[in-house]
Structures are given as C-alpha cells and as structure tokens.
Amino acid sequence: MSKIKVSIIGGAGYGAAELLRHLIVRDDVEVLRVSSKDYIGKTIGQVHRSLFGLEKANIVIQDITPQECVDGADIVFLAMPHIITAKVAMELFETGVRIIDLSGDFRLENLEDYIRDYAPEHPCPERLGTFVYGMPELNEEAIKSAQYVASPGCFATGIAIGLLPLAKAGIITDGNVRTVAMTGSSGSGVRPIEGTHHPVRTNNLKAYKTLHHQHRAEILQTLGKAGAKNTSLDFVPVSAPLVRGILAVSQLDLPDEYSEADIQKMYEDYYAPHRSVVVMPLGQSPEVVAVKNTVRVEVGITVRIDELTGKRTLACISAIDNLVKGGAGQAVQCFNLMTGKDASFGLDQPGMWP
C-alpha cells in the first residue's frame, strides 16, 4: 500500500497529541518526522502519555529546520501558536508541500481583524485569504484540492456549525446573534497559566474576554461565506470546570414565517451529507459527554413564541470536543479530503458515555 507521508511541526502540544493519536494507527499514513523546540530527543510516546507503548510511538522529536522536517512529506501539519506559525509557513511556501495550519494565522481574510484580535502585525499579510478555511461542512469541495488549509478555531467551529443552516437560508440577515459558549481547560494549551490552574478552574465558572474573544471575527466571516448578511455577534465565552468540550448556545430572533418544524428540517437537510454531525430530535439537547474524544458534533434547536409580544426566539445549541472537532480532528478531516477520502475516514468512533 502506498502511504501518505506527513510531518508535524510543533509536536509538543495537545494539538499534536491529537494529530498523532489519529495518524499513527493508520495503515495508509507514515509520519516521517515530528519537530519541536521542546522535548528534543524524547519519543512522542514519552511526551504524549496516551501513545506510550504503541508500536509507532518511537518517533523521536527533533529540533530541525522546517525545510528539513518536510523533506519528502506530502502534507505537513503546523501545530504552533500564531505568529510563530506564520513565520514557519513562510519558509515552506516554496517547497511545494501541502500545509494544514492549526493556528489562527491564516483563518482571517481581513488584516484589520487579525491586528485587532491576534497581533500588532502579520508576518506575511499578503497570504491572508490564500488558505482554504478547513470546515468540511462549509468548504468540502475546496478543501479537496487545496494547497493550503487553515483549520478553524474551537469556538468558531462549535458556534458556526450551530448556525450554518440558518446562514444558508438567509435567516441570519440584518440581525444580531447572541451566544454564550462554555469551554474546557485544554483549550488554553499545554502550558499552565493562572486561569487554567486546577484549584481555581475546578468547581468554578467564569466569563472571560467578554464580547471581545478573538474568534468573533472568524465566526462572522464563516457565517458570511455561508450566506449571512449584515449580522452582528455578541459572544460571551465561559471557562467551565471540565478538560474537554464546548457547549455553545446561540439565540436570535426568528421571522414569523418559520416554525420550529421548518427549522428542524432545515438542519436535518443541511447536515444529511455530513455524518459526523448529528441533529438531535426536538426536545433533546446536545451534550458534551456524548461527543467527548470524537470528531462528532451534536446540534439541536428550540423555538419559543413569547406570550406577550408574539415574537419568536430561536436557540441553537451545539456540542463538540474542542481538541478533536475543534482542533486536530477537524484538521485530520481536511487531510482526509485532501487525500481523496471521506472527511470522517478513520474518525467514526462514538463518544465515551458517560
């Protein structure tokens, strides 16, 4: 069997751990090299404990140049923080290797959005808009032939998938979406910081970056590509006492001509081709534990008609694993599409219940 050769640059974090968890068990993939500035000389099994003892977990993490890391590779995954990633990517554009980037450096098309949300400047602003946005539920065909893919952010994935059918139908037009989304501590990365310290994270809930989270522009850009027009988003992220998972609750005013049954069918029709997305029956709400450790998404809707005003409110709820569908698992879905497979190839395992 001819194997697809891949490399990973930035092999020490949770994103890399998830990539490796999915890739090293596949017979059609050969992981050529893993590079990092941390844990040099250690095997991936020593660094990522869930891989320890596996047959292919003896790959040694190396401190090598990006060009050396991708030598002979068909596809490279970039699993580093923003800014660092863009600088590494600049060294790879002329090599011909296909790139899947897990950072936020190439998701946005507007430089002003990037400067406001990520950094005072972008290392290669001319490259903004040249990466295909790696959300199969929106860009499946474009991903298949893409040279460069920007894998979506975790909040952006969970929230946008909960709203895409409405954007396509033109319902998200000249209005405001209000979203509260709760996330697990792994979304903050492998390095401990004050806000993710266990004693203050467990048994606690707190809002942060209220109305100013960096994924807000990405969500609006994604919904705009799907068909939303002249829309604003009020987004409140919440730090939740769990390790994995995002539960997003979005609310918007629903035009009078749509019933709850209409919206339910709209969601079922939109996601019918995407088997990793499950539209819940009316009356049953998505839950994080049902999708934990998987690329699966649960989506559900509810409509309420106000007793006094008669106005309709639509609530859209979605649940994902932030490290899998919200991170490396979605990057693997893009990898699958780029190599001629179904997006969910090798990713069909159910969640862990309870």
Q: What is the dihedral of CA 254, 258, 264, 269, to 10 degrees?
A: -110
The catalytic position among 69, 124, 154, 334 is 154
Specify whether the CB–CB gap between 39 and 12 falls below 8 A. Answer: yes
Specify whether the CB–CB gap between 235 and 159 falls below 8 A. Answer: yes
Specify whether the CB–CB gap between 7 and 33 falls below 8 A. Answer: yes
d(CA 150, CA 168): 22
Specify whether the CB–CB gap between 280 and 248 falls below 8 A. Answer: no
DSSP 152: P
d(CA 106, CA 151): 9
* Closest C-alpha among 137, 40, 37, 117 to residue 80: 37
Backbone angles phi, psi at 104, to 5 degrees: -95, 10
**β-sheet bridge partners, residue 8:** 34, 77
d(CA 153, CA 235): 14
154 classed as catalytic: yes
d(CA 162, CA 315): 10
Residue 93: both structure tokens together: 């554009």
Specify whether the CB–CB gap between 321 and 300 falls below 8 A. Answer: no
Task: Give the active site residues.
Answer: 154
